[in-house]
Amino acid sequence: MGHLSGFVNIIGAPNVGKSTLLNALLGEKLSIITHKPQTTRHRIIAIANTDEYQIVFSDTPGIIIDPNYKMQQAMNSFAFSALEDADILIYMIDVKTPTEIMKELKNKISKVSCKKLLLLNKIDLITPEELNELAKKYSEELPDFEMIAISALEKAGTQELLNVIIKHLPEGPPYYPKDQFSDRSERFFVSEIIREKILQLYHQEIPYSCEVIVNSFKEDNQRKDKLVRIGADIVVSRKTQKSILIGKGGSSIKQLGTEARKDIEQFLERKVFLELYVKVKEKWRDDDRYLKSYGYLH
């Protein structure tokens, strides 16, 4: 048999465990995982390479049923675009809190002819009886899907999943160089780490009004430890959000900077000097120019 290669696109509601699964399958911290929905805003491509195959995974932003902002509409269109170029489509469900499958999505999926897998994730959280019930329900609702039950967190069933994926990969040459594990730059991962910290440290609407842009990323080769100097803007849409981000006497932004720096150092395996600037750009989430320059619109 020749070389196998193909696109595996994972879709599902926010928080079902898409990023956790990718990390389990790839063994790298590629996508940012937190308990809050909407963390993954863009499609991320992660690539699994061996001598025999290349699997190009894309994790999608969770689909938002009732998009409030243009940004969220753009996020939905990223997710829907995953349907169009897949060799294998993975629809993922959290068995602990199974949500209804959106009509629009169901219609779109039924027209797609590729191999379709229904992943029942988080089986560590329910009983085998409950799992049976759900499996019965979904086999009636989505008859053209092959069902696989896993726990991405405990890596239970993930090897079986990988075997099924490999079984259905088309023959073909690799799409990307074999030493490439993602199409995203280090800068992108750095901005994701900062965004993850904002999600953890601030409440309510703050994280969702922020965009993080890494403006400078310079290796200081003069120094023995190859320190990396990173400058990033945190863009918010109102002045009040700026003062919340900064906190009393700068205490909040200081904590954000320290915690983000530690994670970035771990990710880059180098010492980091991180400077954060908070900028107000009124209503950026509804402004095409900003959405374009931040990569939400093309």
Token duo for residue 165? 């994926």
Please state, in angstroms and rounded to a whole number, the distance separating the CA atoms of residues 266 and 263.
5
Q: Which tokens sit at 98? A: 């199974």
Please tell me whether residue 18 binds ligand GDP under the rule CB under 6 A: yes
Cα separation, 255 vs 257, whole angstroms: 5
9 lies in the binding site for Mg ion (CB under 5 A): no
Amino acid at 8: V
Residue 262 φ/ψ, nearest 5 degrees: -60, -45
Position 19 contacts Mg ion (CB under 5 A): yes
166 binds ligand GDP (CB under 6 A): no
Per-residue binding string, ligand GDP, 211-250, x by CB under 6 A, is ----------------------------------------
> What secondary structure letter does DSSP report for 222?
T
Instruction: Rule CB under 6 A: choose which of 4, 8, 9, 20 binds ligand GDP.
Output: 20
d(CA 1, CA 273): 49
Rounded least distance, CB 18 to Mg ion, Å:
5
Min separation Cβ 278 and Mg ion, Å = 25
The site for ligand GDP, by CB under 6 A, has a size of: 20
CB 182 within 8 A of CB 128: no
d(CA 260, CA 5): 36
Whichever of 19 and 58 has its CB closer to Mg ion, that residue is 19
Under the criterion CB under 5 A, does residue 121 sit at the interface with Mg ion? no
Is 193 one of the binding residues for ligand GDP (CB under 6 A)? no
Which residues contact ligand GDP (rule: CB under 6 A)? 12, 14-20, 33, 35, 39-40, 62, 121-122, 124-125, 151-153
